[in-house]
Structures are given as structure tokens and as C-alpha cells.
Structure 1
Amino acid sequence: MIPLPRILNSWKRPAARRALGIGLAVTVLAVAADRLSPPDLGRFEDRSTVVLDSDGRLLRAFPSPQDTWRLPTRPDQVDPLYLAMLRTVEDRRFGWHPGIDPLAALRAMGQWARHGRVVSGASTLSMQAARLLQPKARTWGAKVEESLRAMQLQARLGTDGVLGIYLTLAPFGGALEGVTAASLAWFGKDPVHLGPAEAALLVALPQSPERLRPDRHPAAARAARDRVLDRAAAAGIIARDVAEAAKTADIPAFQRPLPMQAPHLAERLATAAPRGAVIRTRIDGGLQRRLEALARAEAERLEPGADVAMVIVANADRRLLASVGAAHWLSRQTDLTLATRSPGSTLKPFIYAMAFDDLSLHPGTLMTDMPQRFGHWRPDNFDHDFHGTLTAREALQRSLNIPAVQVLERVGPIRFVALMQQSGIRLAFPPGGEEPGLPLALGGVGIRLLDLATLYAALADGGRVLPPSILADTPPPEARRLVGEAAARAVLTVLEDSPAPDGFAQGSAVARARRIAFKTGTSFGFRDAWTVGTSADYTVAVWVGRPDGAPRPGAMGRGTAAPVLFRAFDLLPPDHAPRPRPTQPDHALFHRAPPPALARLEAESRTDGGAAAPLRILFPPDGAMVESLDDGIGLDAAGGHPPYRWIADGRPLGGETRFWRPETEGFSRLVVTDSDGRRAAVTIRVSVPGD
């Protein structure tokens, strides 16, 4: 061993210092050259925009700026057998050399000297990646630049980065670039699932992609594939009998179209994303394919010009599981899940929910379905008949119009719209029109299918509204409260007992995979047929109609859209469990009989010869900060017809109480009702002395 002092002394010699200086100078020059002339990654970055499902599988791709299918591919997205074959054929020492392989270069030069021609090349995968980034004529000058760029790429990007360039840009015939596009087009599968024969063909194709195209030159493609299999067997990558068996596999005779799933949603997402983006959604790819097949089958039953749109949402996290904007993308590029249409009766459950939430209505409240005029408007029931006295529960289940308008009159159409907007739901009214009125109870408003799904999923989640979650790894927004849990559950219980469409069974005595709370709707003139339903785990929304808004006489939600909804639910796995028990099982809404003050919902007209003064709360005043004393907060009301009943934060107070003891500080809502069911409400802020 050479002593350390001798080694240190050797660096003091002039020759050693010159060598060190030259080395440092070369290093500085190399670094400067790299900074002054970085590699042009433009072609690699000009990739196809791709939209993926929740498992990372392709839903839809969009052509690159050069009109090629250039799908981004990483080494971990490709079968290891393909990578091993690629190294064996193209660059055995890939990862061991700095971008150029000196041994391969010496071998190639020796063969050229002996034979007078090129027998084997010395091009590495790094050099091929450099050539794919900047294609040039094959000259000696271009070869030198290619070698320098290869070393630059290897130093900058490493083995996986260089391999990613090759896997993304390598040509495979026609407009196919990259192994992912090639695997999907030639074999209909992702490259991570390639077999030996498939992997060998994809290794061979970039050597001469047009001369070896399987659909045009099958014999040449087969011969090239078999040569790769022989080399893989000789290198010990696969057994000889595996190689011989792979040689018997057929050569693909045509290019398959790339996946085109959720095309409407994918186009909307791609339009909003930067060019070449990889957009990962929360779509369930398998469910999406099944739902699209159902939509196509249902569209075949419809008359020309009619179409189907559907969405499925997971209630727990509002994940958008599937979205069908139209049955056939090629014939209709409009996303009908976002089309604003008249909802028919599908908003009625939320009118009742708001009334339940205020305890101005109970499912057992008696209502009168008789001819009634509201100002200058006299609505009619869909069946042009009247059904006398019945409960609110029955009125909602039978979707009667007169009771729904009566309830909306109590809730207030302006308040209804305001609560919807505060929850993030867009309701569309004619521009320059009057303020929202009672006709919105019967569909006199516009809404989107996706927003209806959002609303019904909120019912399943205790009245909490969240927009559908479409993109993976996106934090959810803060939930907004539309109604309380008790009101939401009360509506669901009513809708669960709605009669199922013909040919489907539902009810407590029927053994089905799930209980579905659903509501149908039919817009004026039979232009739109709707059904929206929710189970413990899923919400499904269906629209059937003509996108041009033309009438479809006789096409109602119950007979047209409801069967599609039940078939869509059959595509879903069983719910994990029934709906959880309410957190307030003793809430008044869950009692079969309503409180006395809510026994009957009277019409606005009076029969006692005089009109009572409006019911109003005298104390506490609306918006006030009120201090809770030992006896609580005093309650006082006037007008209407006593006796009065008070409700605090959704909880009825006993008897004709005059004081209320709040449990906590903060904002509270007080409601008073009279013997006729009239109501008044205030919102106050409660404070406790000493806190």
C-alpha cells in the first residue's frame, strides 16, 4: 500500500497539477455547456392530455399538438418483462454507462472494419431518447450531437427519466407514440399486463414502425417479434419453451380505438387543464363502462332524437362514480348532465324538508287537496283530479301539486331559493323575470341533473350539501347545511315507501339489496322525465328527454326514467349497511302522530268571518343578542289564533311555555305556531352571564 504522505506529495508535482487543472476545466466547461445549451424537452412535454379513472386507467386521451397519440408513460407503468426484453435488444448495459456505451461503440467499429458495413449499431437507449426529442438526418455530425445529448440527458434525468422519454415518444406505427398508446391500440390492454408475445412485438416495432406494422405487414412483424423472443430466451429472460409458445400467438390485424369512456366529463376536464396534463378522477372505470352500456341500451328503446343522461354519486364522500352525458358521444357532444331543464316534481321533497325543518309541517299533518286559487294562479294536479283530505306523507308520496304549493307558501319561495343558493345549488329563472314564486314547486325553474344528484345525496347525509368530488387528491370543500338531520330523514322515510315503477318491487316486505328513497318528475309538456333516488351508500340521478326541448307526449318520469334508475342501482354493489339510526330518535318528526299545533294545515282563507292579525314574535326580536337569565329567555307572541306552540332549534317546547332555557351560547332559531298552523320565526344570539 502506498503511504499517504507519498500520495499527497505526488499532487505537488507539475504534471499532477496540470492533470487536475485540466480535469477541473473540463468539468467547468461541461457544466457551463449544459447550462448554456440545455436539452429541448418540448416534444416530450407536448404530450396527449389524458383523463384517468380512480385506478389510474385511461378514460379518454386527447391528441398531442402534433396529432399523435403520445400518452405519458413511466417505467413503473410497464410490465417488467417488456423492460427486460427492451434492455436485451436495445441496450444491455443501460444504467451502467453515462449515456454512450464505449464497449458497444468499439464492437460496432470493429465489425465495420472487418465487414465494410454496419453489422450492429452502438446506439443506446439514451441516444435514442435524444434522437426522439430532436429528430435529425442521420449524419456523423448528428451522431456526435446525439451522443453528447445522451450523456446530458443521463446526467440530468437519470435512468428512469431517460427511459420515460423513450416509453413516451417511441414510434409504433401510424399516429401511435409511446408504449401505452401502442399497447392499447394493438392489444386493448395497459402495458403493465403484457404477455411475452405482446412485449416482444412492442420491443421490435420502433426499429421500423411502418415496415413492421402488424396490420399492413404481418409476416415482417411476426419475424421481428420472433427474433426478439429468441434473444430473450438466449439471455435467460424467458424459458425456451415459453418463447416457442409465444411464437404461435397471432399478430394483431388492426388497431383498436383508444378508450373513450366518460367522454363528456373528460372533455370538460381537459378543456380546463393545461396542455399535456394527466388528470386523475374519482370515476369508477368498471361502473362507468357498465353505466354507458345501460345508457346505450335504454336509448335504443327511445324514439329518434331522445336521449339519456345519468350520474352516480357515493353518499359518504360525494365521489362522482360515473357520469353519462349522453348515450352516444359521436351523435351528441353536449353534456346533458349539465343542461338546465325544468325539474318537474323533483324539488318537492326539499320544499317539504324545509317545512319539516321549521316544524311548520309534520309527515302526519292533515292537508286538503281541493281546488284552490293562489292569487291569480289556480294549479291543477297531474291527473286533473282532487283527493280530499290526506296526510303530508301521502301527498308527497303521490306527488300532489296542490299540497306542495300550500307547503311552499308556508316556506316562502324566496326563502326556498335563498337556502338553495346558500347551499351552492344553482336554480335558473328567466332573465329579467319576476322574483321566485309558487310555480317553482311544480317545475317552474331550471336545474341541472348533477345538482339534483347533489341535493338527494344531501338528504342521505343528514341535510349536508357537498358538491360531487370529481378529481382525485382534491380536498373537499366545507359542507353547507340545507336542512337538519331529522327533516332530511323524515323525507327519506316518506320517499322509501313510494310505489316502485311497474316491473320492480320495493317496500319493507320485499327482499331487495337496498332500500331506495326516490322521486320522479315530469316537466310541462312531457319535455323532461326525471327520477332521482338515494340509498344508504349511493345516489343515482336519471334524465330522459329530447335535448331540443321538444314534447314527448305520454313520456313520464315514472314510466320512462324510474325503470332506468332501478336498473342503474342493480349495477352497484350492495350497500354496506342500512341507514344509521337518527341522532335524535325522539324528535317530533319521527312520531307517527303530529303535535296538536301541526295536526292540520289549513288553507289561508278564513271561515270565521274575519281575518286574524298576522302571527308575530314580540320577544325576543329578530337578530337580537339576548342574555339567558335564571328562568331562561322570555317568549312572547301576538296575532294568529292561540294557543301558541314554540320550537327552539328544531325541538318543540312543552305546553304553552313562556320561558326557554337554552343549552348553549351562540345562534339559535325560535319558531312559534298557532292553532291554525301559521308560523313566525326569529334568529337570535344567546349569551350567558359571566361567560
Structure 2
Amino acid sequence: MRHLRRIGFAAAALLIAALGGGVVLDRVYPPDLARLQSHSVMVLAQDGQILRAFSASGGAWRFPVTPEQVDPKYLRFLIAYEDQRFYHHPGVDPFAVVRAAGQAIAAGEIVSGASTLSMQTARLLEPRPRVLASKLIEMGRAVQLEARIGKPGILGVYLTLAPYGGNLEGVRAASLAYFGKEPGHLTEAQAALLVALPQSPETLRPDRYPAAAKAARDKVLARMLGAGVIDAATYRNALTEPSPSTRLPALNEAPHLALRLRRQSPGDLMVRTNIDADLQRRTEVMATRVQATLEPGAGVAALVVDNTERRVLAYLGSADFFDDRRFGQNDMVDAVRSPGSALKPFIYGMAFEDLVVHPETVVKDVPMRFGDYAPSNFDHLYRGEVTAREALQLSLNLPAVALLNEIGPARFAQRLADAGAPLILPDKHAQPGLPIALGGVGTSLERMVTLYSALAEGGVARPLLYRAGDKAGEGHQLMSPLAAWYVTKILDETPPPARWLAAGNRRNASTVAYKTGTSYGFRDAWAIGVNARYTVGVWVGRPDGAFSAGRMGREAAAPILFQIFDQLPQSESAAATPPAGAIIGSTNDLPVNLRRFDPQPGLENEAAPQVLAGPAIQSPVDGATIDLASASLVLNARGGVLPLRWLVNGKPIDSAVFRRQAEWQPDGRGAARVTVVDGLGRSASAEVWLK
């Protein structure tokens, strides 16, 4: 009895010593988890999808992943194939060790290994030569890992570090490279391939050895059928699924934004943005299609913002990041360019706020001289007297310059700077001058979108938010709510670009208040639009600043703007509800002092203005006989001063008055007289016969 007691005490002491020694060794020689911490820098969309990744040390594509982020069928396959007793052993499987030893003794050589997933994970963390001593160390490390991070942690390390050929490490990198998707939803065939590849990652690479990869995949599937993990029907279907034979390009969506944010925070391994991944992809595809039609060296940039908190949903610095011919790595969202006429709405906004004019105030579009500065309209023609609303919609230069002269260019520039959109003058020591009204200044697409998004919040400008979790910045009152509403209402009524129907004639289309701009030499074409929910900005041009062949904002950038808005959920106009104090009516309904705006004395030139020729009807041709096979007849006019009004047999028809086209639906056969009347009351007619 005393002898047994001594043996018991000795066994207990030995166990305690072993446990104590294990604890000491664990403290002295902890497992090295540094490799796990060295993973690819990831820039993520708002939903966690990877937009762009930067390779880890050594050039590896390695993304952290947890078991919860992987399809459960893959985990079942992995454990059934690699380590059936994974959840029942402490890191080393004694049954597997005994079996492997017995087979080796019987065969005189190693027949099968005894590595558990825990031991394989230890080897991934600390690679060693494949010798017996290394195997013993891996056993000890496996037990350590079991005690330290448990089964879920071990699976997470394996899923992150397992080799998949080339520079792919981890199941997430492999799934993205071979299947183009996250590993959360895999087919049986895909799961089997991902289980097989780490067995011999270089000789089973599907992009280089597709036949070998398929054979290894099918072997895993057969094992799963034999183990009862899948049934016969699932097995047969999985065998028919094609195996990937190519590796997809590296993740590279929103590359300019990703690079920008990485430079801002070089120590962050994960940056989550506000980007909507699906919208970003659609925008990139659309812009790439448009850019293919441009001359070499020209590019497209776009920015989409949710007005609620100014979250950036899509960011396109150029349509092709790797196209050196088009200077693709230049970020044209952030580049300083000339805005052309795109700043005019804010000149009018300040003039409305100062009660210099009202949208229905009559202003003059006539030749003027401002000291040594004598601007002209884009077409070198003048419209005489028009309302401020018409002057902004037609983007007339002379009224805009006269209004800027009235409110003060320095004050205007300071107001924009206070709102977070400072203007860049050609000479940094110069004072802002009147040419800024026509684009004689520098700004960026980012700053222009910042300004236009203020129209959706009663004139309050806020910084744009690129990172998820950032709070809305402090607002600055760019203009009064009433002035912002007036500007937005005017831009709402701006006709859409050619071949684009107004929102009321398109299903589920949003009303867009937008303005275009074209810089000197056609270098930059702009279109920026806003509704209650979204602001979108588009730039088309040459990053190298070279002249372009007649590229204008309305023709080059506006159609892209409307295509992007059509990708967004429908939203009401930002000017849907008039604010208190809004004066809605004609010129005669205004207070006397707001009915006309007369520029400062001495600004008008003595030379008589050259007025645009009267209207002429291009189609239908006078005297033509027209077959009524189609339901409607398109009317076209040239010349004349907008707005144009159309009449048929003396009766007006519905039409967009600031367009030179209209659509008429005849109500019967016979003679019809088509008449167009321009803004100065001049008219032209054509008589046709309908059969």
C-alpha cells in the first residue's frame, strides 16, 4: 500500500513537473505568429469586398480570413480529407502516429504521414526542413497552438497561410484568383479544388496544369463520396463542372482612391471605404467603353457622392489605371484643371443671395468691357435681353461676368475657399479677377462635387467622406437656402444632352440639376449634376493639358453624367419644395428694383451687338409628303434665340423650350402647317402633307 502511494506521488509529481515544464517552455518559446500578421494591405468597399490589394512582404497575396467567412462545405471537405479527428485530438493525433509508424515499419519506408491540421498550421507559421526533428517540433508547436488559440484560431491561421501556387497564400486569395469571388459561397467542385491544391501547390496549379488540378479535385470528391460527406448525385454533378484554367488579374478596383488612402495611412493593413462595389464596377465599365472612343491621351474621370453625409460611393481617377498612353495613373479626380463655365451657378447663387438679381430679372447679353477685359460668348453671338434664369441655362458669358463684377471676384473666391473648395490662381500672388467666371482659374473634380453637393442641403457645403465610419464634417453655408433653391430649380430645367429624353419622358429617371463646362482649347469637358440624394461629377479631357478637337462638356461629359444617374436609385429633385420667401412668378411679379439688372455705367460697348439669325425649320422639309407609318414626327430647327416654341396648325405642342428638337404626334391625314417661334418672336413655317 505504501509502495502504491509512493508510485502515485511520483506520478503526480512527474505530471506536475511536465505541466510546469510545458508552461515554462511555452513562455520561453512562444509560437511565432509574425507571419500571420504580415498580410496584404486591403482597401475594402463598404460591404467588405476587396477593391484593391497591395501584396504582402515577399510579394505574396495573403488575406486574413476566419472560418465564419468560408463556405461550411469547404471546411467539411478539408477536415474529412486532412484530419478527420481534428476536433477530438489536442494537436497531435496518437492514432495517426501509431498507424504511420506501423506502416513505416511494415513497408520499410514512410507510407503515410501523421500530420494534423494543427501540425500543418505550425509548419506554415514556421517553415522547417522536412526531417524527423522538425516533425517533433511541429508536434510541440501544435499542442501550444491548441492551448493558445484553440481550434477556430488554428483553422483561421491555416485558411490564411496555406499555399495555393505562385504567390497565392490562403483560401481567400485562391478563391478570388481562380473563381473571381470570395470563398463564402463555393460549389462542391470549387471546395474540393481548394482542399487539393495545398497538397502540391506548384504542380497542381490550375492555370498551369489544369489536367493535374482536375484530377486532384476529383480525387477529393471521390473521398468525400466514400466518407458520406456528399451523395452520388452531388458527386456526379461536381465532376461535370469545368475546372478553372486561368488565374484572374489582381484586384484593382478604385485604384486611384486605394493608392491615395494608402499613402495617407501607410501603417494601416485594412482600409474600409464608403465605395459601393457594384456601382464602382458599373462606372468603371461605362467609362472604359467611352474612353475607347476617345483619341489616345484622353481620359475620363467620375465621382459619385451620397448627399446624406457626403459619402463617396464611386471614385474613378481614370478609366484605365495601367494605360500609359492615356496617363492612366494620373488621378483626375484630384488634379487641378480649368472648370470652364461650371462655376457660374455659384456666381448666380451669390447674386440671388445679395438680391442683385432674381431668376426672372432681365439681364443684358450684349458686348461689354470691364477695364481691359472684354469677354465674349462662346459662339460670339449675343441674345440681347434675357432673364437671369435663361442666361444661366444658356451659359451666357457676359451676364455671368457682369454679376461677378457686382458681387466681387475676391469675395466670391473667398466664399468658395471657406466652403472647402479654394481656387488655384495662375499666379499665386495675384488677386482673383473676373476671368474666373469663365474658367480662368484652377480647381478639381473633387472640389466641384463638394460645391454642387451643397445645393442638395440648402447651400451647406461639407467635406467628402472616403473612409467608412468617418462622421459628417462641419458644414459651411456657401449660399442661403433660398439662393441654393433658385440655382437648383434653374439647373433642373436645363435641357438634357442631345439624344437624351427629359426625366419626365423616361421610366424611373431622376430629375437632374446639372451644369456643363468647357475650358479654353477644349482641354477639359465637365458635367456636374445633383438631385436630392446624389451628386455626380464627370470630367473628360487630356491629363497632359493638350488641346482637344472641339470636345465640349455638353457633348462629351453630360451623356456620361446621365448614364451614371440612371445607375442610381430614383430620387426627387433637390428643388422639389420651395423654401420660405421664394418668389415664383414672372418678371412683372418682382419688386421694381429686381425687374432689371443694369451693369455698372460704362460697361456696355458702343458697338451694336451681333444678334443670332432667325429660326429655320430643318425637318420636316417645306412641301414634303410624309407617310404616317410612325406614331410621331420629329421636328428640328436651326438658328433663332432660345427658347423655341412649336405650333402645328396654330396650336402649341408640348416641347422642351430650350431644345431645338420637338416631337409631335399627328392626329390624322391631310395638310399641316408647322411653325417655330424663337425667343425674339421671329418665326419660320413649313407646310407638309400627311398620308
TM-score between both structures, scaled by the size of structure 1: 0.82
Residues 493 and 276 (structure 1), Cα distance of their counterparts in 2 relative to 1, 3 Å cut: closer
Residues 25 and 272 (structure 1), Cα distance of their counterparts in 2 relative to 1, 3 Å cut: farther
Q: Within 5 Å, which residues of 2 pair with 1:145-184?
A: 145-184=137-176
Match of 1:537 among 533, 536, 539: 533
Aligned-residue offset at 1:446: 0.8
Q: Within 5 Å, which residues of 2 pair with 1:62-73?
A: 62-73=54-65
Match of 1:445 among 441, 446, 452: 441
In structure 1, the partner of 2:95 is: 103
How far apart, CA to CA, are the structure 1 residues paired with 2:10 and 2:500?
91
Contact kept in structure 2, 1:486 and 1:589, CA below 8 Å: no
Match of 2:582 among 574, 578, 587: 587
Aligned-residue offset at 1:408: 1.4
Aligned-residue offset at 1:379: 1.5
Residues 54 and 97 (structure 1), Cα distance of their counterparts in 2 relative to 1, 3 Å cut: same
Contact kept in structure 1, 2:46 and 2:276, CA below 8 Å: yes
How far apart, CA to CA, are the structure 1 residues paired with 2:242 and 2:507?
48
Match of 2:460 among 456, 461, 464: 464
In structure 2, the partner of 1:262 is: 254
3-state DSSP class of the match of 1:193? Answer: coil
Residues 106 and 358 (structure 1), Cα distance of their counterparts in 2 relative to 1, 3 Å cut: farther
Unaligned runs of 5+ residues in structure 1 are 1-9, 608-691
How many equivalent residue pairs? 596
In structure 1, the partner of 2:127 is: 135
Is the counterpart of residue 227 in structure 1 residue 225 in structure 2? no
For 1:502, give the aligned amino acid: A
Is the counterpart of residue 526 in structure 1 residue 515 in structure 2? no
Is the counterpart of residue 353 in structure 1 residue 349 in structure 2? yes
3-state DSSP class of the match of 1:552? Answer: coil
1:492-520 Cα distance to aligned partner (Å, 9 max, x none): 10011112221112266776611111101
3-state DSSP class of the match of 1:146? Answer: helix
How far apart, CA to CA, are the structure 1 residues paired with 2:208 and 2:51?
28
Aligned-residue offset at 1:200: 0.4
In structure 2, the partner of 1:246 is: 238
Contact kept in structure 2, 1:449 and 1:543, CA below 8 Å: yes
How far apart, CA to CA, are the structure 1 residues paired with 2:565 and 2:306?
12
Match of 1:311 among 277, 282, 303: 303
In structure 2, the partner of 1:287 is: 279
Is the counterpart of residue 380 in structure 1 residue 376 in structure 2? yes
Residues 463 and 27 (structure 1), Cα distance of their counterparts in 2 relative to 1, 3 Å cut: farther
1:330-360 Cα distance to aligned partner (Å, 9 max, x none): 1111111111100001011111112222333
How far apart, CA to CA, are the structure 2 residues paired with 1:358 and 1:24?
87
Is the counterpart of residue 74 in structure 1 residue 56 in structure 2? no
Aligned-residue offset at 1:24: 4.6
3-state DSSP class of the match of 1:127? Answer: helix
Aligned-residue offset at 1:265: 1.4
How far apart, CA to CA, are the structure 1 residues paired with 2:204 and 2:272?
34
Contact kept in structure 2, 1:181 and 1:258, CA below 8 Å: no
Is the counterpart of residue 599 in structure 1 residue 558 in structure 2? no
For 1:255, give the aligned amino acid: R
How far apart, CA to CA, are the structure 2 residues paired with 1:129 and 1:507?
59
How far apart, CA to CA, are the structure 2 residues paired with 1:391 and 1:521?
20
3-state DSSP class of the match of 2:554? Answer: helix
More deviation, 421-430/517-526: 421-430
How far apart, CA to CA, are the structure 2 residues paired with 1:402 and 1:57?
50
How far apart, CA to CA, are the structure 1 residues paired with 2:155 and 2:186?
18
Sequence identity (%): 49
Is the counterpart of residue 50 in structure 1 residue 42 in structure 2? yes
Match of 1:30 among 22, 26, 35: 22
Match of 2:418 among 416, 422, 436: 422
Match of 1:435 among 409, 413, 431: 431
Contact kept in structure 1, 2:218 and 2:239, CA below 8 Å: yes
Match of 1:113 among 105, 111, 129: 105
Aligned-residue offset at 1:99: 2.1
Match of 1:210 among 180, 202, 205: 202
Contact kept in structure 2, 1:49 and 1:278, CA below 8 Å: yes
Aligned-residue offset at 1:366: 1.8
3-state DSSP class of the match of 2:395? Answer: coil
Match of 1:323 among 315, 320, 323: 315
Match of 1:504 among 475, 493, 500: 500
In structure 2, the partner of 1:550 is: 546
How far apart, CA to CA, are the structure 2 residues paired with 1:509 and 1:301?
28
How far apart, CA to CA, are the structure 1 residues paired with 2:556 and 2:361?
31
3-state DSSP class of the match of 1:469? Answer: coil
Residues 514 and 298 (structure 1), Cα distance of their counterparts in 2 relative to 1, 3 Å cut: same
1:270-290 Cα distance to aligned partner (Å, 9 max, x none): 333345712222211111111
Residues 511 and 71 (structure 1), Cα distance of their counterparts in 2 relative to 1, 3 Å cut: closer
For 2:446, give the aligned amino acid: L
Residues 276 and 482 (structure 1), Cα distance of their counterparts in 2 relative to 1, 3 Å cut: closer
Contact kept in structure 1, 2:42 and 2:53, CA below 8 Å: yes
1:69-97 Cα distance to aligned partner (Å, 9 max, x none): 11222212211100110011112222333
3-state DSSP class of the match of 1:66? Answer: helix
Aligned-residue offset at 1:195: 0.4
For 1:174, give the aligned amino acid: G
For 1:356, give the aligned amino acid: F
In structure 2, the partner of 1:454 is: 450
Aligned-residue CA RMSD (Å): 2.4
